[in-house]
Structure 1
Amino acid sequence: MYQPLAYRLRPKTLEDIVGQEHLVGPGKIIRRMVEANLLSSMILYGPPGTGKTSIASAIAGSTSFAFRMLNAATDTKKDLQIVAEEAKMSGTVILLLDEVHRLDKTKQDFLLPHLENGRIILIGATTENPYISINPAIRSRTQIFEVHPLTPEAIEMALDRALTAKDGFKDEDVILEQSAKRELAFVTNGDLRSALNALELAVRSTPKNEDGTILITKEIIQECTQQKGFSHDKNGDAHYDVISAFQKSIRGSDADAALHYLARLIEAGDLISICRRLLVIGYEDIGLANPAAASRTLDAVLAAERLGLPEARIPLSVAVLDLCLSPKSNSAYQSLDRALQDVKNGKATTIPNHLKDSHYKGAAALGRGLTYQYPHEFSDGWVAQQYLPDPLAHTRYYEPKFTGRYEQALAKRYEELHQKKSSSTK
């Protein structure tokens, strides 16, 4: 039966793993577990092809435990029961459960007691962020480890191994040009499985030269990958990382970084996320420092939505640079958050009588609105009177920032009013 190169080269020990040194390197957590023979259930999460299955296979190969593989989405509760029965007979089974975020409640409830007593050591694999996608009951019984995309250097090392390994191309005279190796290492974006699959396709589809060698050039690799060096899953965890980096780059006034992440989101075709995020940024990060920028951003977003991609990139680029290079202030929403916290903490106490509704018969008898002073009747449109409930009478939620001229003017007015209010109560 045909087995893909990536499957044939799957690591048998921790020493065979390429990359993920932060987990399996000397003195690191998973290596310590294996060397101490104190394995515990874990969840490995990260992009495809980064070594989750390889780590599970290597852990099993470094121990005497049986190793079984199931898929949470496609395998049934009965399949789990078979593994549990085997664990009862043999003592312990390491179970690699792929797509562990797809584990439904029935399978989860069956699995939990076996994780508790240690008969099954679960190694869950997922591309989704487990803190978002995995049930807390499973999370609480596992350690969570993130695996990272492999560096180009690590992928090159794995490609060299593939050319010399017995289960690879040791018995075939394959020459992988350096430029081809570099292309393969970069274009697969840290996905070793994709790199090995592309190498195998290149070798199997390239005829031998007259001297019996198989020469793999950069052009052949480009044909066998058909990639532009960019991949993006709109529903994946990495997508939210790009959005996060996009907003933080604008907040940090790094125009070049913001344009880079905008380009990635545009290449992914995710106009909805871009527009929504820009509107949030306009009010969250720019705010009172430059309110006009938020209005211009709305205009750019409306234009982008009407134009659609690819032309939408034009108004979007204007908005990104405008927001990036604008002064920043989060004072408005931070002020509201402080007020919300007081409300949540039970400080939403009785409204002063003079502010209560007085537009009904009998309100006067209840003392509603009797002492209210109408600001428009005073020369500068202001009169000293208490608006906050008594326990909060002297609370200040708004803490101005002085990063833009508009908010500087607001801050000056805010302080003037507070001083007048303080003077009137002395």
Structure 2
Amino acid sequence: MRPQRLEDIVGQQDLVGPGKIIARMVAAKLLSSMILYGPPGTGKTSIASAIAGSTKYAFRKLNAATDSKKDLQVVAAEAKMSGTVILLLDEIHRLDKTKQDFLLPHLESGRIILIGATTENPYININPAIRSRTQIFEVHPLSLDDIKVALNRAITDKERGLGELPLQVDADALDFIAGATNGDLRSALNGLELAAQSTPPAEDGKIHVTREVAETCLQRKALVGDKNGDAHYDVISAFQKSIRGSDTDAALHYLAQLVAAGDLPSICRRLMVIAYEDIGLANLPAAGRTVQAVQAAQQLGLPEGRIPLADAVIELCLSPKSNSGIAAIDDALADVMGGHNGAVPEHLKDAHYSGAKKLGHGNGYQFPHDFPNDWVKQQYLPDSLKSAQYYHPKTNGRFESQLAEQYQRLRQANRK
């Protein structure tokens, strides 16, 4: 059921729809090399084959991990003979330097139009020499409706699909196949084919694919996938941003995805980061309780550990938020890394050793505990930074509001 023209592609209409970038390239016959990246089964190979079918160029497919430089040489020789070859290079993020160096001059000459396919983020995992010679397009998981369109085509197509079979697919079975594959059309088509080919005809002569049959034939895909893949880090990112945005239900959804993937270490680490980065001084006790929840989850393990984790996520979502702590230390670090250190004032220098007083170290230091309220006005910052302010209090929570009042009182007292 691989599309043979751009018009046959379901989904990815922001790239291949009328008037969009890839459609324009094909119409103008001005193809350039590109990298398509996104989850499996979302149409990367289909786009490449449809481009080739729409342009009538020769189409070859290789794998950067398993095919050799000799295989690339065969494609290059064909391109020299025929003029242009579209090469789909799967797993392009695994292209080694020898193959890359061979490919580059052919890309620059235009003899080979490279369409690289990868599930990895090309800005992180693909060599800059290749990136600079290609356009990068992201493909997205297909919607439920897109997958249903493709499944219905497969059911009715008599030449390339299952149209010759007396197939009857129940609506709820079709919904299950479309929904359970998490936007992966390849898995959906494979599941449909297995259900159709392995189900014997009923008394009426028809092959009935029910939801029960679909569930038996279709292995559910892991929602988060490879723990080292981009999709996993996207879920972690969405998890933190949902808590930061106070969306309890979204945060619980992403927590559930991470729990289903069994990635307790990432959940625990991220939750502690969130507690201090996004809630912080607005509700410092909540941060402490998050640490306790993490410790409980680590001792319990999964699946029981999900319970304290869910409690912590709900509290963090509904807590007042403040990032003043991370903003303060980052501003201070920016000064330090920028060379704005300044000399430690003489009265603050270490004076515990013999001879320190002769150097002037510690002279004039006033011990705050000797004064009323355990405070005395004196300079602590270096002279070059004596007016610097890194902490800018927020007043979203009662706890930081009290800190803000005290911080402002002390700054005013020091200015008097």
Distance change (3 Å), C-alpha of 1:265 and 1:363 = same
CA distance in 1, matches of 2:374, 2:83: 82
Residue type matched to 1:201 in 2? L
Give 1:395's aligned residue.
Answer: 388
Alignment of 1:65-76 (within 5 A): 65-76=57-68
Give 1:109's aligned residue.
Answer: 101
Q: Which runs of 5+ in 2 are unaligned?
A: none
Give 1:216's aligned residue.
Answer: 209
Backbone CA RMSD of aligned residues: 1.7
Query: The residue matched to 1:116 in structure 2 has which SS?
Result: helix
Alignment of 1:86-235 (within 5 A): 86-165=78-157, 166-227=159-220, 230=223, 232-235=225-228
CA distance in 1, matches of 2:165, 2:242: 49
1:313 to 306, 316, 325: 306
Residue type matched to 1:302 in 2? Q
Deviations 1:211-261 (A, max 9, x none): 433222222111111438856332221111111111111111121211111
Q: Which runs of 5+ in 1 are unaligned?
A: 1-8
How many Å apart are 1:303 and its aligned residue?
0.9
Query: The residue matched to 1:69 in structure 2 has which SS?
Result: strand
CA contact (8 A) 1:189 1:231 kept: no
How many Å apart are 1:385 and its aligned residue?
1.6
CA distance in 2, matches of 1:231, 1:207: 35
Alignment of 1:232-381 (within 5 A): 232-381=225-374
Deviations 1:76-116 (A, max 9, x none): 12222222232233222211111111112222222223223
CA contact (8 A) 1:187 1:229 kept: no
CA distance in 1, matches of 2:193, 2:56: 32
Of the structure 1 ranges 331-340 and 367-376, higher mean CA displacement relative to structure 2 is found in 367-376
How many Å apart are 1:337 and its aligned residue?
0.5
CA distance in 2, matches of 1:360, 1:106: 62
Deviations 1:163-221 (A, max 9, x none): 22211123232222222212211111111111111111111112223443322222211
CA contact (8 A) 1:70 1:97 kept: yes
CA distance in 2, matches of 1:262, 1:48: 23
1:81 to 73, 82, 86: 73
CA contact (8 A) 1:186 1:229 kept: no
CA contact (8 A) 2:120 2:230 kept: yes
Please, what TM-score do these two structures have when normalized by structure 1?
Answer: 0.93
CA distance in 2, matches of 1:87, 1:229: 40
How many Å apart are 1:59 and its aligned residue?
0.7
CA contact (8 A) 1:288 1:332 kept: yes
CA distance in 1, matches of 2:402, 2:128: 49
Query: The residue matched to 1:364 in structure 2 has which SS?
Result: coil
Deviations 1:361-412 (A, max 9, x none): 4433433222222222222222222221222111111000001111111111
Q: How many residues align?
A: 415
Residue type matched to 2:282 in 1? A
Please, what TM-score do these two structures have when normalized by structure 2?
Answer: 0.95
How many Å apart are 1:336 and its aligned residue?
0.6
* Pair 1:384 & 2:377 matched: yes
1:40 to 14, 32, 38: 32
Distance change (3 Å), C-alpha of 1:231 and 1:403 = closer
CA distance in 1, matches of 2:290, 2:177: 40
Query: The residue matched to 2:60 in structure 1 has which SS?
Result: strand
CA distance in 2, matches of 1:182, 1:114: 45
CA distance in 2, matches of 1:268, 1:313: 12
CA distance in 2, matches of 1:267, 1:116: 46
CA distance in 1, matches of 2:301, 2:183: 31
Alignment of 1:399-410 (within 5 A): 399-410=392-403
What is the identity percentage for the equivalent residue pairs of Structure 1 and Structure 2? 68
Residue type matched to 1:239 in 2? H
CA contact (8 A) 2:181 2:221 kept: no
Give 1:52's aligned residue.
Answer: 44
Of the structure 1 ranges 202-211 and 274-283, higher mean CA displacement relative to structure 2 is found in 202-211
Of the structure 1 ranges 27-36 and 108-117, higher mean CA displacement relative to structure 2 is found in 108-117
2:23 to 31, 39, 46: 31
Query: The residue matched to 2:372 in structure 1 has which SS?
Result: coil
Of the structure 1 ranges 374-383 and 223-232, higher mean CA displacement relative to structure 2 is found in 223-232
CA contact (8 A) 2:182 2:221 kept: no
CA contact (8 A) 2:325 2:391 kept: yes
Give 2:3's aligned residue.
Answer: 11
